[in-house]
Structure 1
Amino acid sequence: MTQACAAAPAGRTSGHLTPQLVEWLDAHADAIDTGECDPGAVLPPLVEAGVFRWGVPAQWDGHDGTDIGDAIEAVAELGYYSMACAFVAWGHRVFIEYVLHSPNRELAQRWLPALMAGRVAGASALSNAMKFLGGIESLQITATQDGAGWRLDGAMPWVTNLRPQGFVVAAAVRAPDGRVAVVALPHDVPGLERSADLPLIGLQSSNTAAISLTATPAGADCLLHEDARAYLPGLRPSFVGIQCSLAIGLARRSLDEARRAAGRGNAPKGILAAPLEDLSARTAALADELVQGVRSGRLRQTPAALFKLRIELADAAAQAVQLELQAAGGAAYLRGRQPGFARRLRELAFVPIVTPSLVQLRAELARHEGTF
């Protein structure tokens, strides 16, 4: 049975999260993961605390002078406390990025104010398109001509932040002329059906569900871009970069918890000091390489390097959780003795499978011998 999670007051700190939001996250992280928190209560505190203002131009109520690197760091800081919240934030923030870079300025005028205010949730169903561009998967939505517009048929099997109170979802479709376009579909468009929330083992209050489309109308007013091949490669560093924030946040938290556990004498004195120091330095270096590579545009030109970073950060998160377990010892296997550890184990299980999955990325990298 879900419970209403009290809203977190807004404010501003020297980091990317407010102290009020951190307090709220600490209080509700386990409930959000297990679904005991009303999923509809997750997005509003993030909006109120300004999480989505990082890297957004001031004209759209963003933090002036910040960039996509700040957005990556903000979501990583969320992931330190709750991967479910970070996952919701990823979906909402990358949708904002899609709209910011869309040539359809009427669409931007229509959706950006609502997205920034949290009146509507942004959802990204473009993992299929990103995999399609890499030759990993075929497109799952097709369009047929219907007068001046299209009718869409297909499915989006796994989409997060599908807030029942109102959402808009980005999807790639194969147009009647064979090109691939990207559209933004509101929750109440005819023919769009949202499933019940998927029965996940964690991240349950993330409004993650499936969508089916049956003769769904789509006109020029919902077109994010008419050519996904021209549009999506430029967005891929933001898409994958913010996705990497989930692993960064988890690795940082488990490393900190491992230090605390080792300090309590749960492991022989000093035995984990070197591994903790080495992994902390490696995680910091990988996170910095990611942020700087996205900021500079280098990772747009070298997507293989971007995907390798995703794999290495996932490996770092896995090692960090294992170090936490080793440092805490048997206490980690007892309820309440190592708070949050069971949640972090479930969170870790999600890192390799968020699409494109690590298996898919490794297979594609091997097929192309390190290049895309």
Structure 2
Amino acid sequence: DHAAGRTFGGTALSNPMKALAEIEPMLLRARKTVGGYLVSGSLPWVSHIAPGQYCGAIARVHRDDGTPSHEIMFILRCDPPVELRPCPHFSGMEGTSTFGIRLDDYFVAEQDLVADPARPFIKRIRGAFILLQAGMAVGVIQGAVDSMREVEPALGHVNRHLSDRPDEIQAELDELTAHALLLAQTPFEQDPDYFLDVLDTRAQGAELALRANFIAIVTPAIKHLRWEMARLSREEMPA
């Protein structure tokens, strides 16, 4: 149903992926109980969810003495008693259906477990998960390039002084997209060199998205400065 678009859900994997990389602590804790697990904790940002929907989440299981045992991945259903907290209003976030999630002894039945333990499964899907984010970067960058080209007839004489031009960004985007599509042909490859390539591609996408959108949105002052510099240089040059 999810793959066919008949139901909607998101991923609550931002914190777990960072936690497994030892960047930040795991925010969801679980303990074993009859028929499944009880999960408690809070996730401040989970996108593409709403009441009545669901997401994939990960919690760290703790033994009775409080020591960590392993992690579980499970379907988290966004129904009571799960508490969804609307996030503060930020420009550009309102269309992402992002909520904070609060769990207090949320029961995860065995049939809702995706992986127990979770780490072998995460190792298998992490490349595909990160490549999905590369797709977001491609869309954002292409939108920025389209915006640059849209104003070219009116502002091209000024924008030509910018160091990054639409054709240059487009060429880099096309190369990045082709490489991401090549990597996507083997999304479950577990070779470390493959995963390193995936991470590098994802990082390049983020950096190019920042460049493209900085040029498309933030640089009027910069291009004004460069326009004035070019004008002054022409005036200072002898005929």
SS at match of 1:295: coil
How far did residue 274 of structure 1 move? 7.5
Task: Measure the CA separation in 1 of the matches of 2:108 and 2:164.
Answer: 57
For these two proteins, the number of residue pairs brought into alignment is: 215
Q: 1:202, 1:227 → 2: CA distance?
A: 36
SS at match of 1:232: helix
Greater Cα shift, 278-287 or 168-177: 168-177
CA distance in 1, matches of 2:166, 2:200: 22
Distance in 2 separating the partners of 1:152 and 1:172: 10
Q: In 2, distance between residues paired with 1:326 and 1:179?
A: 45
For 1:246 and 1:161, how far apart are their aligned partners in 2? 14
Which of 161, 169, 175 is residue 61 of structure 2 equivalent to? Answer: 175
The residue number in structure 2 matching 1:147 is 34
- Corresponding residue of 2:139: 249
Aligned CA RMSD, in angstroms, stands at 2.7
Alignment of 1:269-288 (within 5 A): 271=161, 275-288=165-178
Hey, what's the Cα distance between the residues in 1 that align with 2:160 and 2:100?
48
Counterpart contact for 2:125–2:187, Cα < 8 Å: no
The one-letter amino acid of 1:295's match is Q
Matched residue, 1:262: 152
CA distance in 2, matches of 1:138, 1:269: 45
CA contact (8 A) 1:198 1:208 kept: no
- Judge conservation of contact 1:142–1:153 (CA < 8 Å) in 2: yes
1-structure distance, mates of 2:5, 2:144: 32
CA distance in 1, matches of 2:138, 2:186: 20
The one of 318, 324, 333 aligned to 2:210: 318
1:155-234 aligned at under 5 Å gives the runs 155-164=42-51, 166-176=52-62, 178-188=69-79, 191-234=81-124
Give per-residue Cα distances to partners, 1:180-205, cap 9 Å, x unaligned.
Answer: 110102122x5421112442222203
Percent of aligned pairs sharing the same letter: 21
Q: Distance in 2 between matches of 1:319 and 1:123?
A: 28
Partner residue, 1:132? 19
Residue 299 of structure 1, CA deviation: 6.5
**Is 2:192 the partner of 1:308?**
no
Change (3 A) 1:199 1:256: closer
Deviation string, structure 1 residues 190-246 (Cα, Å, up to 9, x no partner): 542111244222220322011111011112111001122100122212221111222
Runs of 4 or more above 6 Å deviation: none
More strand by share: 2
* 2:10 partner letter: A
Which one-letter code corresponds to 2:186 in the other structure? S
TM value normalised by structure 2? 0.78
* Residues 144 and 152, structure 1, Cα contact 8 Å, conserved in 2: yes
Q: Look up the equivalent residue of 1:137 and give its one-letter code.
A: E
Q: What is the rounded CA distance, in whole Å, between the counterparts of 1:223 and 1:198 in structure 2?
A: 31
AA aligned to 1:204 is E
Consecutive unaligned residues of structure 2, counting only runs of 5 or more, are 64-68, 224-239
Could you say if the C-alpha distance between residues 287 and 153 of structure 1 is closer, same or farther in structure 2, counting changes exceeding 3 Å? same
Are residues 219 and 285 of structure 1, via their aligned partners in 2, closer, same or farther at CA, if it must alter by over 3 Å? same
